[in-house]
Amino acid sequence: MEHRDIKTFINEDSKKIKDIYDAHRAPFLHFGRKYNLTQETLIDIYQDAFVALRKNALQGKLDSVKSSLKTYLFGIGKHLIYNELKRQKKLVPLTNDSEEMTEGIEAISLSTTPELTEEQQLLQLNFKKLGQKCRHMLTLFYYRGLTVKEITKKEGYASENVVRSQKSRCLRTLKEYINSPKL
């Protein structure tokens, strides 16, 4: 995969991300038509595949991928299409077309559990109560996996101690929300 494509996701260049999204959307929808899914379902699957691609880029999982961005994205999409077909209990004939399209794709693991556990729901609900600054800080650290040093540089903080302190306050507030008695 090209280094510049990965950097586009990491640097959050929204115009370039939109360009990548738009460039692969129509070909993916065309590719997905042979599975007899509705246009709306294919659009949802494409969006989920694109989000998974972006998440993998942010987490550094694409650094060793040898396939092109399009092949990797279509591989994720095909995996999601098969999950949808299984969900709908449809059988899909494997054609030479689809074999050629996915040749050379590394195994892709996605968490496709649609339902959140009670703890995850509680975390999600209380995370939304945090201010924008805290949500952003915790997202950078826990979701994107950035170090305190990287956050300091990326966000322009005065020192790493400021980042540690803010992260600690945000985490404490989140824990207080979660542990507060329910009314």
pLDDT digits (tens, 9 = 90+) for 82-105: 888 888 775 545 554 544 455 555
- Residue scoring higher pLDDT (48 or 67): 48
Sign of the torsion formed by the C-alpha atoms of 56, 71, 91 and 39:
positive
Short-list 7, 6, 4, 145, CA closest to 73: 6
Q: Is residue 137 situated within a structural domain? A: yes
Residues 9 and 85 in one domain: yes
Residues 175 and 147 in one domain: yes
Largest interatomic CA distance in the chain: 58
Claim: this prediction has a pTM higher than 0.75: no
Residues 164 and 130 in one domain: yes
- Return the exposure string of 27-57: e unless at least 16 CB atoms fall within 10 Å of the residue's CB, then b: ebeebbeebebeeebbeebbebbbebbbebb
The C-alpha angle 148, 150, 156, rounded to 5 degrees, equals 95
- Number of domains the chain contains: 2
pLDDT for res 2: 63
User: Residue type for 68, please?
Assistant: S
The mean of the pLDDT values for the chain is: 81
Q: Is residue 110 situated within a structural domain? A: no
Q: Is residue 9 situated within a structural domain? A: yes
Q: Is residue 79 situated within a structural domain? A: yes
pLDDT band at 60 (very low <50, low <70, confident <90, very high): confident
Residues 20 and 52 in one domain: yes
pLDDT for res 15: 86
Residues 52 and 96 in one domain: yes
pLDDT for res 141: 85
pLDDT for res 125: 87
Q: Is residue 65 situated within a structural domain? A: yes
Coil, helix or strand for 54? Answer: helix
* DSSP structure class, residue 140: I
pLDDT for res 95: 52
CATH code assigned at 151: 1.10.10.10
Q: Is residue 164 situated within a structural domain? A: yes
Q: Is residue 112 situated within a structural domain? A: no
